[in-house]
Chain A
Amino acid sequence: GAVVSQHPSWVICKSGTSVKIECRSLDFQATTMFWYRQFPKQSLMLMATSNEGSKATYEQGVEKDKFLINHASLTLSTLTVTSAHPEDSSFYICSARDISGSGNQPQHFGDGTRLSIL
């Protein structure tokens, strides 16, 4: 089945640091990848939609200069949290849509990255 690899799985760093999270589709091509954030006991919140070769589409309230997204190839998207602060601590999850457009499972999820800013 389709596999999405997300790395790193856990990051602890100091306030002011920039953190890059990678999301790779291992056995399929993904023209579209999605970045979610999930705070404890809350649902998934879509941050942005990443399209290969073009600019990401950010959801309302998400700062595009703080959460930099790059989708340079059909198998890799990266999210960089710039100058991270404690309030950015959260569980970040990426998902990818298979280019073949399979209808009954629209998104394949990575395992998530737990980000803790001290």
Chain B
Amino acid sequence: GQNIDQPTEMTATEGAIVQINCTYQTSGFNGLFWYQQHAGEAPTFLSYNVLDGLEEKGRFSSFLSRSKGYSYLLLKELQMKDSASYLCAVRDSNYQLIWGAGTKLIIKP
């Protein structure tokens, strides 16, 4: 079956750095996506990786290793507004998005 694993919850301090990991086992691979979702709101797109390596976009970076079925989202200079759930999603061979359960990130002052 298809499976995406990410930690349920993480806590970090304002101004610090946090890394949210995602491992996946899917039937085929056509890209990995990270979305941010604040409570009661719809997800918003953060990043996309289809080749191995690091994609940097401002304070957020995303890394992919296809051979390891592994990705991480790195958030730098954490701000209180970064408190949200972070969803990892993989597009499989049928171009369907398979969603992880999300990681709730709590930022403390």
Which residues of A are at the interface with B, using a C-beta cutoff of 8 A? Answer: 6, 34, 41-44, 46, 49, 91, 93, 103-112, 114
Residues 90-102 of chain B, each 1 if its beta carbon lies under 8 Å from chain A, else 0 = 0100011101111
Cross-interface CB contact of A44 among B31, B50, B99, cutoff 8 Å? B99
A93 in contact with B31 (CB, 8 Å): no
- CB of B48 closer than 8 Å to a CB of A: yes
3 closest cross-chain pairs (CB), A and B: A109-B42, A43-B101, A104-B48
Tally inter-chain residue pairs, CB-CB below 8 A.
Answer: 44
Knowing A104-B31, A106-B31, A106-B91, say if A112 contacts B99 (CB, 8 Å): no
Cross-interface CB contact of B101 among A42, A49, A104, cutoff 8 Å? A42
Query: Within the assembled complex, what's the spacing in Å between the Cα atoms of A104 and B64?
Result: 14
| 24 residue pairs bridging A and B, Cβ less than 8 Å apart | A43-B87, A43-B100, A43-B102, A46-B97, A46-B99, A93-B42, A103-B31, A103-B48, A103-B50, A104-B48, A104-B50, A105-B45, A105-B48, A106-B31, A106-B33, A106-B95, A106-B97, A107-B97, A109-B42, A109-B43, A109-B44, A110-B42, A111-B42, A112-B42
Main secondary structure of the interface of A (DSSP, over half): loop
A44 in contact with B87 (CB, 8 Å): yes
Query: Which A residues are in CB contact (< 8 Å) with B104?
Result: 41
Query: Which B residues are in CB contact (< 8 Å) with A41?
Result: 104
CB distance from B61 to the nearest CB of A (A): 16
Query: Which B residues are in CB contact (< 8 Å) with A112?
Result: 40-42
